[in-house]
Amino acid sequence: MPESDLDLLIAAAREAGQIATRYWEGDNTVWDKGRDDPVSQADYAVDAYLHEALLGARPGYGWLSEETEDTPERASRDRVFVVDPIDGTRAFVAGRETWAHSLAVSENGRVTAAVVYLPLKDKLYAATLGGGAYLNAAAIHAARADTLSGASVLIAKPALDPKYWDGNAPQIARHFRPSLAYRLALVAEGRFDAMLTLRDSWEWDIAAGALIATEAGATVSDRTGADLRFNSKSAKTAGVVEATPAIHRELIARLRP
């Protein structure tokens, strides 16, 4: 049995990658959960494996996953697995490579161990609380950009509508990736200066990436600037804003309440 929660998450993520890749390369039935929200055989197969592997190793932990029916029982547990079996399912079923497994452990609302793994890109991001952030075992650090103007930002085009901003929308270099967990990790890696989504966000999409980002030196909050907490009753946060510290302050100041 892996000695630490991080070792457990890493081992589980790598096995999940093998399971998911077999579906990605072969047959994979897809259903629509509604409002253009697909789910596939691969999502359910990975979820079933992770549920068995993670809770088998840590039976006292709670469970929160996109593909498992939620129950009030997790609220009674100090430690909870927060899991998205495949983050970026649209990309997965479209045959693209930018999907990820997002695995985290939350303890009393704070993430303490996290993994974001992209099997087809051979990128495994990992972090522990207070232990730094890593990509394939090499330390990573957020960028040092200190001004929003001209910054490289991962953001969906609708979020740049002027109605969301005091004054005009910021002048940035806009980019996008389908996996929210991957977007968080890319800023942690220093590839981009900021990432934000203004829509309410599911905890399983962001728990792992949020710890990786903060351990890499980025600042992460909801869209109001409040700290993120996990294992909430709704399992949602009020959006996500991640950036270098200076750019984060500027983003929060410019976003309309």
pLDDT in tens, 147-183: 999 999 999 999 999 999 998 899 999 999 989 999 9
State the number of CA atoms in the 13 A half-sphere of 107 facing the CB: 8
Q: 5-139 with 152-254: one CATH topology?
A: no
123-128 and 110-118 strand pairing: antiparallel
Give me the amino acid identity at 7.
D
d(CA 145, CA 190) in angstroms, rounded, equals 10
Alpha carbon distance 257, 255 (integer Å): 6
CATH number of 5-139: 3.30.540.10
Architecture of the domain defined by 152-254 = 3-Layer(aba) Sandwich (3.40)
User: Structure pTM?
Assistant: 0.95
Share of the chain above pLDDT 70, in %: 98
Give me the helix-helix angle, 180-188 and 203-215, nearest 10°. 0
The domain spans of the chain are 5-139, 152-254
- CB-CB contact of 153 with 236 (8 Å): no
What is the C-alpha separation between 15 and 48, in angstroms, rounded? 12
